[in-house]
Amino acid sequence: MLELNNIQHILLTRTPAMTGRYEFLSFDNPAGGRAWLSELIDRVEPASTAQATMDSTQRWITLAFTWNGLRALGLPEESLASFPDEFREGMAARADILGDTGANHPDNWVGGLAGDDPHAIAILFARDDAGHRRATAAHDELVARCYGVRSLSVLDLNATPPFNYAHDHFGFRDRLSQPVIEGSGEEPTPGSGAPLQPGEFILGYPDEESSAPKVPQPEEFSRNGSYMAYRRLQEHVGLFRRYLEEKANTPNEQELLAAKFMGRWRSGASLVLAPDHDDPELGADPMRNNDFNYKQMDPFGYACPLGSHARRLNPRDTAVSMNRRRMIRRGATYGPALPPGVPDDGVDRGIAAFIICASLVRQFEFAQNVWINDRNFHELGNEHDPICGTQDGNRRQGLTSEQAERLRAARSAGSRWESPSSHPTASHGP
């Protein structure tokens, strides 16, 4: 049984928030950090009540900590040592595994997130702008009162029009294929697969292969927690539109080319189910828009290209041990929408998301290294994910021996895919 009263709601529910803020904090004084946490902890809504109060709640809080943050709060050394290396090292130290090179190198990350200073993340979601102002003002006042707590940076979030469904700045429908956790009470939609053991996402529970996965100690400290990887993906909307216009002659051909990059039409309709033209009704229907496979329905990628974004990030029945690779994604868009027909204005806009899993290596790093950035994915050759893959021109060539060994270690976390036989659109940060 899931202990829903001790699991943060973000792991199991999506809120109807239209705006929000990610605030990254540092603790220069352990007592100040603990004072900050003590005032917020009772305001973090657990999964046990989130669904029941969703219609009446105006604001939601989620808290997370880095390994350095736990140390700054005074967690005993024996507990700190029990965390896995990837969590202790942090994302910047593992940039070579993640493909964070060139413009995406940690030296270029914004918000002061590449060093040891990030200790905590406060995720503040609000139903509307008024709620957003109240939540951020209250948090600003709390930070000012807690000695030694300082804000490194903030990222304000906002939904983009039209507001009747979630989508990114490129216009692609979002939130279409998420795993369901057994015991959560949620029923998977057709094509989403059976519910997965909670230990694939939440620490202290059985996973798909073990009844008692190893967790940081003491167990009562880590149980019901999870690991989260933060990714800020800048979307180059003007560049994407211009590329489509240059490479395709008509608006219909431009939409098809965009769909080939993504693996779905902007409406959300999969190319497997609608290979020749968009079907908005299909894309908007959760009982149909995810009900397909690749091995039987499109084994050679004639409809949905083998290297498309959707096919890379969810290979479905063409992957080995797929149940051990699934991740939960929670995020939102930031920055103003770029109106149609308007040239690139140079404003930063994109998606900022948290990837939730029980193993950063087996799930998150594997997806980044093998699915997104392996140039030989599905035996394609020199190619990366066209939407969020590394586009620095080197295609993994010229790695040092140490980098190559780290890549091999990341891949050894599990089997690769089964084989059935570019151009920049998004840059990424921490």
Q: What pLDDT sits at residue 379?
A: 76
Q: What pLDDT sits at residue 419?
A: 29
Residues 6 or more apart whose CB falls under 8 angstroms from that of 54 comprise: 13, 15, 16
Residues 246, 420: Cα–Cα separation, whole Å = 32
Q: What pLDDT sits at residue 210?
A: 84
Q: What pLDDT sits at residue 417?
A: 33
The model carries a pTM of 0.90
Residues 165, 176: Cα–Cα separation, whole Å = 11
Tens digit of pLDDT at every position of the chain (430 positions)? 999 999 999 999 999 999 999 999 999 999 999 999 999 999 999 999 998 999 999 999 999 999 999 999 999 999 999 999 999 999 999 999 999 999 999 999 999 999 999 999 999 999 999 999 999 999 999 999 999 999 999 999 999 999 999 999 999 999 998 899 999 999 999 999 999 999 999 999 999 998 878 999 999 999 999 999 999 999 999 999 999 999 999 999 999 999 999 999 999 999 999 999 999 999 999 999 999 999 999 999 999 999 999 999 999 999 989 999 999 999 999 999 999 999 889 999 999 999 999 999 999 999 999 999 988 888 787 788 999 998 766 655 444 455 555 555 655 554 433 322 222 234 444 4
Q: What pLDDT sits at residue 281?
A: 98
Residues 370, 321: Cα–Cα separation, whole Å = 14
150: helix, coil or strand?
Answer: strand
Contact 183, 208 (CB under 8 A): no
Residues 30, 37: Cα–Cα separation, whole Å = 11
Residues 6 or more apart whose CB falls under 8 angstroms from that of 93 comprise: none
Contact 235, 347 (CB under 8 A): no
Sequence letter at residue 323: N
DSSP 180-229: -BTTSSPPPPTTS-SPBPGGGTSTTS--SS-SS----SSHHHHTT--EEE
Residue 344 DSSP symbol:
P
Phi, psi of 48 (to 5 degrees): -65, -25
286-292 LR contacts (CB < 8 Å, sep 24+): 286/189, 287/189, 287/190, 288/190, 289/176, 290/176, 290/177, 290/189, 290/190, 290/191, 290/192, 291/189, 291/190, 291/191, 292/191
Greatest distance between any 2 Cα atoms in the chain: 63
DSSP 55-75: TT--EEEEEEE-HHHHHHHT-
Contact 406, 97 (CB under 8 A): yes
Whether cis (ω within 30° of 0) applies to the bond prior to 218 is yes
Q: What pLDDT sits at residue 412?
A: 57
Alpha helices (runs of H) in 209-333, residue ranges in sequence order: 219-222, 237-247, 251-262, 280-283, 309-313
Q: What pLDDT sits at residue 408?
A: 56
Residue 370 DSSP symbol:
I
Residues 59, 44: Cα–Cα separation, whole Å = 10
Q: What pLDDT sits at residue 427?
A: 40
Query: Where are any strands of DSSP class E within 236-379?
Result: 328-334, 350-357
Contact 264, 271 (CB under 8 A): yes
Beta bridge partners of 121: 24, 64
Q: What pLDDT sits at residue 381?
A: 78
302: helix, coil or strand?
Answer: coil
Torsion of CA 430, 171, 339, 345, to 10 degrees: 30
Contact 7, 324 (CB under 8 A): no
